[in-house]
């Protein structure tokens, strides 16, 4: 890892994956299981929150750019938990020229 990235990863984030779990009534519930904790740099992408109306409710979302070390297994549909926020992974950028790092795009949602 280059010195350029080492000092930037100051936030601790938890990476979680959705796991279907039997609910005892023949169905299943989705439970979030922690698959790792990692150091990251958290940067907001948009200075203005995005918003939309979903089922007659205004929902706002803020997009984050998350810099992490390369080699971490991250996939779309996972989430990051950071400072009480649950962030849905919506994009992953791995640059072959910089294998020591990757950028994850994640969105938070709230009413």
3-state secondary structure the chain: CCHHHHCCCCEEEEEEEEEEEECCCCCEEEEEEEEEEEEEEEEECCCCCEEEEECCEEEEEEEEEEEEECCCCCCCCCEEEECCEEEEEEEEECCCCCCCEEEEEEEEEEC
pTM above 0.95, yes or no: no
What's the total number of domains in the chain?
Answer: 1
Greater confidence (11 vs 28) lies with 11
Give the closest residue to 63 by CA, choosing from 75, 71, 51, 54.
Answer: 51
Taking all residues of the chain, what is their mean pLDDT, rounded to a whole number?
A: 87
CATH number at residue 13: 2.40.10.270
Contact 76, 89 (CB under 8 A): yes
DSSP state of 45: S
Is pLDDT larger for residue 25 or for residue 82?
82
Q: Which residue has the tokens 């990692």?
A: 38
Give per-residue pLDDT as tens, 55-92.
Answer: 677 666 789 999 999 999 999 999 999 999 999 999 99
Q: pLDDT-based confidence at 111, cuts 50/70/90?
A: very low
Domain range enclosing 14: 3-110
Q: What pLDDT shows up at residue 28?
A: 87
């Amino acid at each position: 890892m280059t010195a350029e990235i080492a000092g930037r990863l100051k936030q601790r984030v938890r990476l979680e994956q959705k796991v279907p779990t039997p609910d005892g009534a023949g169905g299943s519930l989705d439970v979030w299981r922690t698959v790792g904790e990692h150091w990251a740099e958290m940067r907001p992408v948009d200075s203005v929150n995005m918003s939309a109306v979903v089922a007659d409710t205004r929902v706002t979302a803020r997009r984050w750019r998350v810099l992490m070390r390369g080699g971490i297994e991250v996939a779309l549909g996972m989430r990051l938990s950071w400072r009480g926020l649950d962030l849905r992974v919506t994009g992953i950028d791995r640059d072959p020229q910089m294998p020591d790092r990757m950028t994850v795009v994640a969105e938070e949602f709230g009413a």
